[in-house]
Structure 1
Amino acid sequence: MAHVTALYRYPVKGLSAEPLPALGLSRAAGLAHDREYALALGTTAFDPQAPEPLDKGYFLMLRGNAPLAALATRFEPETGRLTIVQGGQDVLCEDLSTETGREAVERFFESYIGPAAKGRPRLVRADGHKFTDGSVISPAFMRAVSFVNLASVRALEERIGTPLDPLRFRANIYVDGLAPWAELDWVGQEIGIGTVRFRGLARTPRCAAVDVDPVTAARDTTLPRDLKRHFGHVDLGIYLEVLADGTVAAGDAVRMPSPVSGAA
């Protein structure tokens, strides 16, 4: 039976994953504290009082800033504190709810990334806004969660002859027990995971971000090109729209899709 093997959120766009035992999801907001913050390039204009979705190229992210993967981060929503770990040592711990804390984080990344940050990056957040890649498409995509089928990852591994850490694909929900690529047919279909109903919104096209090893920060693969060459597309995983509030936990079963009609 297909089941959930791992769950993650990404409090700061482009920074490391946080494993969670369960995800509390809502139709109105998706996954709380996922891509809640982003580090805007020094040249990026973003108004938190009137937020507009921007392409990921306006922010620090793995496609353009591979060294981000060498950092581990922890975020505590209850206290607002972000901890940055480098080489196994805590190098920064700041309260993101304060101007002083945000400035300290910005100065750290200005030094760490260097000229590619295009000046001092700005740590940005806006109520009700998420810095998901799909945010530029629609509000539904902004609130969507990402899903990866581990059988599809293994199918890619077999073709390229290289083991892959599934965290390269930065999903919220990882599932095993499906046929390879089964998830790509779920667009427009309804599925259930745990107590939550979802609709498949779109396949997830992959860019050069997945070529960065999430542990070593080395850019050591050509996965989008390999996907296209071996499978005729660059997709791995899908975006899911949350249709009903609920919780997804590790071990939860996946209920197979059935067609739905009309918009929710």
Structure 2
Amino acid sequence: MTRIAALWRHPIKGHGREALERTQLSEGCTMPWDRRWAVAHEEAKADADGSAWAVCHNFSRAAKAPQLMAISTVSDEAAGSVTLSHPQRPDLTFDPDTQEASFIEWVRPLMPENRAQSARIIRVPGRGMTDSAFPSISIVNLASHRDLATRMGQDISPERWRGNIHLDGQEPWAERDWIGKTLRIGTAELEVREHIVRCLATTANPETGERDADILGALDTQFSHQEFAVYAVVTRSGEVSVGDAAEVL
């Protein structure tokens, strides 16, 4: 039987992951507090101002700054705060809506000098800043992850994919046939929309922030594409918890 093996959210886009035991999914919405904030860099276009969704190229992210992959996160929703941890930095607890300056100072040593530097934090009310233009939930098939790791001959963490829902119990690469289909996960239902095209962020180790695995090369060599996991949209609200059953309808 297919079950939820892990749930993850990423409160600040590109800046850390947070494990969950359960969460509520709402129709047409991203996972609560997933990509709630994003960090616009100094070369971002003027319309990346928090008024609407904007493309990922406007934001600081691990594809350009691999050390960002080693950030982990703990959120306090009641206080509106986020605590960031990184092996090379002291922990930082701050409110992204009101304490932007403390974050910019904290993250500066993790940014390559030859890349556009982080400039400001933005938030679009009611809309997580996903890489997809639609509010998406990303779903990882752990059997596919293990198959890729075996083909690479390398132990790689599934956290490299920065997914929301990790499923276990499916055949490897079964998700390649899910486009247009509905998944019932916990008490929620999601329609699978598209495959996820991967970027250099996946090459960085989430423990160290060092690029140590040619994920993109492996996907290209083995499958002639650079896609892994799928984007879905919530079509029926419901609760999902680690251990819940999942099925393709």
Distance 1:34 1:52 in 2: 14
C-alpha spacing 1:121/1:110, structure 2 compared with 1 (3 Å):
farther
Distance 2:77 2:103 in 1: 16
Aligned to 1:61: 61
Q: Which moved more, 1:79-88 or 1:208-217?
A: 79-88
C-alpha spacing 1:22/1:253, structure 2 compared with 1 (3 Å):
same
Distance 2:71 2:190 in 1: 32
Aligned to 1:248: 240
Distance 1:25 1:57 in 2: 27
Distance 1:120 1:61 in 2: 10
Q: TM-score, normalised by structure 1?
A: 0.88
Partner AA of 1:227 in structure 2: L
Partner AA of 2:59 in structure 1: F
Distance 1:208 1:118 in 2: 16
Aligned to 2:122: 124
Aligned to 1:235: 227
Q: Are the counterparts in 1 of residues 73 and 82 from structure 2 also a CA contact under 8 Å?
A: yes
Distance 1:116 1:130 in 2: 28
Identify the structure with the greater helix proportion.
1
Q: Deviations over 1:75-114 (max 9, x none)?
A: 222111122223387432222232xx12211222234425
For structure 1, the residue ranges without an aligned partner over 5 or more in a row are: 136-140, 258-264
CA positional deviation for 1:121:
1.7
Distance 1:115 1:184 in 2: 39
Aligned to 2:52: 51
Q: Provide the aligned length of Structure 1 versus Structure 2.
A: 247
Give the alignment's Cα RMSD to 1 decimal: 1.7
For structure 2, the residue ranges without an aligned partner over 5 or more in a row are: none
Runs of 4+ in structure 1 off by over 4 angstroms are none
Aligned to 2:203: 211
Distance 1:230 1:11 in 2: 33
Distance 2:109 2:211 in 1: 21
C-alpha spacing 1:3/1:119, structure 2 compared with 1 (3 Å):
closer
Q: Deviations over 1:197-253 (max 9, x none)?
A: 111100111111111111011101111121121123222111111001101111111
Q: Are the counterparts in 2 of residues 4 and 252 from structure 1 also a CA contact under 8 Å?
A: yes
In the TM superposition, 1:169-184 aligns within 5 A as 169-184=161-176
CA positional deviation for 1:131:
1.3
- Find the residue that maps to 2:132 and give its secondary structure: helix
In the TM superposition, 1:1-264 aligns within 5 A as 1-44=1-44, 45=46, 46-48=48-50, 50-54=51-55, 56-87=56-87, 90-98=90-98, 101-113=99-111, 115-116=113-114, 118-135=116-133, 141=134, 143-257=135-249
Q: Deviations over 1:128-157 (max 9, x none)?
A: 23211112xxxxx2x110000010011111
CA positional deviation for 1:23:
2.1
Partner AA of 2:33 in structure 1: H
C-alpha spacing 1:119/1:206, structure 2 compared with 1 (3 Å):
closer
Distance 2:241 2:30 in 1: 15
